[in-house]
Chains A and B, each alone.
Chain A
Amino acid sequence: MQSMTGAKALMTAMEKEGVKEVFGLPGGANLPMYDEFARCDIRHILVRHEQSAAHMADGFGRVSRKPGVCFATSGPGATNILTGIATAQADSAPMVAVTGQVPVPMIGRDAFQESDIIGMANPVVKYAYQPRDAAEIPEVVKKGFFIAETGRPGPVLIDIPKDVQTNEAEMSFPNEFKIRGYHPWTDPDMVNVQKAIEMLLHAQRPIILAGGGTIISSAFAELQAVAELLMIPVVTTFKGKGAFPENHPLSLGPIGMHGHAEANKIMTEADCVLAIGTRFSDRSVGTFEDFESRLKIIHMDVDPAEIGKNQTTMVAVVGDVRASLRIMVKMLMQRAIKKTDETVWIKHVKEIKAYWKENLKIHPGEMGAAKILRKLREILPHESIITTEVGQHQMWASLFYDVIQPGTFFSSTGLGTMGWGFPASIGAKVAKPDVPVVDIAGDGSFNMTENSLATAVLEDIPVIVFLLNNFTLGMVAQWQRTFYDRRMIGVDQGRCPDYVKLAESYGAQGIRAESMDELERAIKTALSSDVATVIDIPIDPEEDVLPFVAPGTPLKDMILPS
């Protein structure tokens, strides 16, 4: 037992959790916590908007698989991080958000900068705490980190009233604790893994659908082993992109609204699917009815509530997907199952893949999206980390940037939050300072959080913004061209701002690339620079993302480039 303030206890408890960096912005209600930065080893990284602090913590969390931490003050500081919390929740990213709150006696009196952040955040957090007594803080932090990173990860909010930060109490820092209603681990389900194997062995046209859960649990080697032992082609969801090396002969890439043509085609022909760590989002499956009606579904997921939520399954394996796949591999090895022969199915899969590799029409211009992203892939080392913003550029990245080292591609896939990618790339770079980190961006999205350039420059976090600049809110423009008879409303961004000057005004490097040669040079310059770089790549505002599966239609109806 030691006597200390709540604020000191918070920092001590976070140090015990291994926290080295906090992303945040101070204000009246969290000043006692901020004052503790002067007396501890945790680095504070100042942001220019609290939403970005949350996205940075999110990016950090996805890459390191440890909760990223963000701080905000009460009222507007707290409401500013809500979008970031909701984004992390939608993509199951581990995060701990700490907000200041007005003192306990002021709560409920509409005090200055009081907002009921616990009430507002409830539907978008995994859990939320509001300690009312300083002595609760050590245990709240311990439990908060545990909840954020175990089972299906997610954001935890800790809202601390100012008097609770300043009050002194006798603190003990427990290692043991009990959360009665939380059981993140279950024993691996041998019986159902066995059933799954039988189903896959008996299927004529089996397929593996790897979702984001495969990446969260790092089940890369296990997934590859299962695919290779059973000779089953692998598609992914968009969130699962890069769960499986995209240059592998069995890889077909992401399915869905802007899935790869070969992936959507083969998904449509399959008769049995092993779905791993996925919620069967509408963006992935097209229509819920289509999958259910024609596929035997085996579903592996850590979250029992996902089983049967969007799809009726024939076999469900609840538990950490890596553990479940590991058992599957073991059982296959014990039975000496190793398929080598080319089945009719695998031959067909390879033909379809080869056909689309040859025949997918891409933009004819020198600076078409496909060529630009393939160039980026060609130059970037395999271990580089990609984040993306939201829009056409994101879907082009999905189509034309092959992830070769699993677990190096991150995007706001669930909430689709424009402005996520740049701050998330900063968080990712903090987690892995030694690898290049590139945000594949669109101009509209970059506008939303571009002031994070200040953080990247002043905190010396040299990320690369790879800006596919079409001067429009391109994805919306594409929908207006496709579904609204070309009535373009609210999508023209003008030629504003000048991104090279914008970057330079923050002390970052700005490079414009208008030809493939310039692009190649720009990427190489950015990679060898020790300052954040924005590569501004003007592109055709009329280029569409294709293939395209219109919302509410099945994958087989995908619209192809003509």
Chain B
Amino acid sequence: MIMWAILSILVENKPGILFKVTHLFRSRNFNIDSISVGVTENPEYSRMTITTVGDEKQVDQIVKQLDKMIDTVEVRRLDEHKTVYRELCIFKIRLSNASDSMEVNKLANAYGGKVHDVKKDSIMVELTATPDQIRAFEELARQFGIIDVARTGVAALQRSGA
């Protein structure tokens, strides 16, 4: 069964490691859906969050191969029900009619988004949500016309006690 998996990878904060991790995915024929990287509270480490799809066996292999890498300090597959995970996304949306601006504002509000850069024929919406919610928003925003999208990739942390 093909599934979606969130991997949380603690790596040494050294140059070249992002390259090695992404190279591993390529050379082993695995997919990267999204990736986000940032230094942790301890500057010696960075945390990468990678989302991927594959069957149980493939995901298991990805985790093992990542674990085998000497630069990875800890590799975890997160259970999405026990995890806080979010992605930040910025949409540039077309405004064609006079009423569009208000409609987009309403939609953004419904998803807890913020609007920026309001122009005569376009508007930007910033959204921090789960990939599912972002997809749903995107569906609805399509009626106005989406000019551009930028996404950060998922960041995730396991809930305490989970």
How extensive is the interface on chain A, given as a class?
A: 10 to 19
Which residue of B11, B60, B67 contacts A308 across the interface (Cβ within 8 Å)? B60
- Asked whether, in the complex, the Cβ of A304 is within 8 Å of the Cβ of B67, the reply is yes
Stretch of B32-40, B68-76, B131-139 contacting A (4+ beta carbons < 8 Å): B68-76
- Asked whether, in the complex, the Cβ of B61 is within 8 Å of the Cβ of A181, the reply is no
- Asked whether, in the complex, the Cβ of B70 is within 8 Å of the Cβ of A123, the reply is no
**Shortest Cβ distance from residue B96 to the other chain A in the assembled complex, whole angstroms:** 47
- Asked whether, in the complex, the Cβ of A147 is within 8 Å of the Cβ of B19, the reply is no
Which residue of A119, A182, A304 contacts B64 across the interface (Cβ within 8 Å)? A304
Q: Say yes or no: is B27 at the interface (Cβ < 8 Å to chain A).
A: yes
**Shortest Cβ distance from residue A106 to the other chain B in the assembled complex, whole angstroms:** 17
Docked pose: A303 CA to B12 CA in angstroms:
22
Q: Say yes or no: is A37 at the interface (Cβ < 8 Å to chain B).
A: no
Q: Which residue of B lies closest to A182 (CB)?
A: B70
* Cβ contacts B37-75/A at 8 Å (1 or 0 each): 000000000000000000001001100110111111100
Chain A residues whose CB sits within 8 angstroms of the CB of B161 once the complex forms: none
- Asked whether, in the complex, the Cβ of A305 is within 8 Å of the Cβ of B65, the reply is yes
- Asked whether, in the complex, the Cβ of A127 is within 8 Å of the Cβ of B70, the reply is yes
Which residue of B12, B19, B57, B68 contacts A122 across the interface (Cβ within 8 Å)? B19
Q: Which residue of B lies closest to A156 (CB)?
A: B70
Q: Which residue of A lies closest to B56 (CB)?
A: A308
Q: Say yes or no: is B106 at the interface (Cβ < 8 Å to chain A).
A: no
A305-331 contacts to B, CB under 8 A, are 305, 307-309, 312
Q: Interface size of B by Cβ–Cβ distance < 8 Å?
A: 19
Which residue of A119, A179, A303, A309 contacts B19 across the interface (Cβ within 8 Å)? A119
- Asked whether, in the complex, the Cβ of B69 is within 8 Å of the Cβ of A181, the reply is yes
Q: Which residue of A lies closest to B64 (CB)?
A: A305
Chain B residues whose CB sits within 8 angstroms of the CB of A147 once the complex forms: 70
- Asked whether, in the complex, the Cβ of A181 is within 8 Å of the Cβ of B27, the reply is no
Docked pose: A181 CA to B69 CA in angstroms:
7
Q: Say yes or no: is A118 at the interface (Cβ < 8 Å to chain B).
A: yes
Q: Which residue of B lies closest to A180 (CB)?
A: B73
Q: Which residue of B lies closest to A123 (CB)?
A: B27
Known: A304-B68, A305-B61. A181 touches B12 (CB 8 A): yes
**Shortest Cβ distance from residue B56 to the other chain A in the assembled complex, whole angstroms:** 10
Which residue of B12, B23, B67 contacts A305 across the interface (Cβ within 8 Å)? B67
A277-312 contacts to B, CB under 8 A, are 303-305, 307-309, 312
- Asked whether, in the complex, the Cβ of B72 is within 8 Å of the Cβ of A181, the reply is yes
**B interface, by DSSP: helix, strand, loop or mixed?**
helix
**Shortest Cβ distance from residue B149 to the other chain A in the assembled complex, whole angstroms:** 31
- Asked whether, in the complex, the Cβ of B70 is within 8 Å of the Cβ of A309, the reply is no
A139-189 contacts to B, CB under 8 A, are 147, 179-182
Q: Which residue of A lies closest to B60 (CB)?
A: A308
Known: A122-B23, A123-B23, A123-B27. A305 touches B70 (CB 8 A): no
Docked pose: A122 CA to B27 CA in angstroms:
11
Chain B residues whose CB sits within 8 angstroms of the CB of A304 once the complex forms: 64, 67-68
Chain A residues whose CB sits within 8 angstroms of the CB of B16 once the complex forms: 118
- Asked whether, in the complex, the Cβ of A309 is within 8 Å of the Cβ of B12, the reply is no
- Asked whether, in the complex, the Cβ of A181 is within 8 Å of the Cβ of B64, the reply is no
Chain A residues whose CB sits within 8 angstroms of the CB of B70 once the complex forms: 126-127, 147, 179, 181-182
- Asked whether, in the complex, the Cβ of A305 is within 8 Å of the Cβ of B68, the reply is yes
Known: A123-B27, A181-B72, A182-B70. A308 touches B61 (CB 8 A): yes
**Shortest Cβ distance from residue B67 to the other chain A in the assembled complex, whole angstroms:** 7
**Shortest Cβ distance from residue A542 to the other chain B in the assembled complex, whole angstroms:** 39
Chain A residues whose CB sits within 8 angstroms of the CB of B57 once the complex forms: 308, 312
Chain A residues whose CB sits within 8 angstroms of the CB of B67 once the complex forms: 304-305
Which residue of A118, A127, A181, A312 contacts B73 across the interface (Cβ within 8 Å)? A181
* Cβ contacts B82-123/A at 8 Å (1 or 0 each): 000000000000000000000000000000000000000000
**Shortest Cβ distance from residue B16 to the other chain A in the assembled complex, whole angstroms:** 7
Chain B residues whose CB sits within 8 angstroms of the CB of A303 once the complex forms: 68
Q: Which residue of A lies closest to B65 (CB)?
A: A305
B1-23 contacts to A, CB under 8 A, are 11-12, 16, 19-20, 23
> Which of A122, A123, A180: most chain B Cβ within 10 A?
A180
**Shortest Cβ distance from residue B138 to the other chain A in the assembled complex, whole angstroms:** 36
Docked pose: A303 CA to B20 CA in angstroms:
19
Docked pose: A126 CA to B67 CA in angstroms:
13
**Shortest Cβ distance from residue B65 to the other chain A in the assembled complex, whole angstroms:** 5
Chain B residues whose CB sits within 8 angstroms of the CB of A180 once the complex forms: 12, 73
Docked pose: A182 CA to B68 CA in angstroms:
8
**Shortest Cβ distance from residue A147 to the other chain B in the assembled complex, whole angstroms:** 7
**Shortest Cβ distance from residue B39 to the other chain A in the assembled complex, whole angstroms:** 16
Docked pose: A309 CA to B11 CA in angstroms:
23
Chain B residues whose CB sits within 8 angstroms of the CB of A123 once the complex forms: 23, 27
Docked pose: A305 CA to B60 CA in angstroms:
9
Docked pose: A362 CA to B71 CA in angstroms:
52
Docked pose: A303 CA to B71 CA in angstroms:
16
Chain A residues whose CB sits within 8 angstroms of the CB of B73 once the complex forms: 180-181
A175-207 contacts to B, CB under 8 A, are 179-182
Docked pose: A338 CA to B19 CA in angstroms:
53
Q: Which residue of A lies closest to B75 (CB)?
A: A181
Q: Which residue of B lies closest to A183 (CB)?
A: B67
Q: Which residue of B lies closest to A310 (CB)?
A: B61
Docked pose: A309 CA to B61 CA in angstroms:
6
Chain B residues whose CB sits within 8 angstroms of the CB of A179 once the complex forms: 70
Chain A residues whose CB sits within 8 angstroms of the CB of B71 once the complex forms: 181
Docked pose: A180 CA to B20 CA in angstroms:
17
Docked pose: A308 CA to B62 CA in angstroms:
11
Chain A residues whose CB sits within 8 angstroms of the CB of B64 once the complex forms: 304-305, 307-309
- Asked whether, in the complex, the Cβ of B65 is within 8 Å of the Cβ of A122, the reply is no
* Cβ contacts A90-126/B at 8 Å (1 or 0 each): 0000000000000000000000000000110011001
Docked pose: A134 CA to B69 CA in angstroms:
25
Docked pose: A180 CA to B27 CA in angstroms:
24
Chain A residues whose CB sits within 8 angstroms of the CB of B19 once the complex forms: 119, 122
Q: List 15 A-B contacts (CB under 8 A).
A: A118-B16, A119-B19, A122-B23, A123-B27, A127-B70, A181-B69, A181-B71, A181-B72, A305-B64, A305-B65, A305-B68, A307-B64, A308-B61, A308-B64, A309-B64
A-B pairs with lowest CB-CB distance, top 5: A305-B64, A305-B68, A182-B70, A181-B73, A180-B73
Q: A residues near B, CB below 8 A? A: 118-119, 122-123, 126-127, 147, 179-182, 303-305, 307-309, 312
Given A181-B69, A305-B68, 13 more pairs with CB closer than 8 A: A118-B16, A122-B20, A123-B23, A123-B27, A126-B70, A181-B11, A181-B12, A181-B72, A181-B73, A304-B64, A304-B67, A304-B68, A305-B65
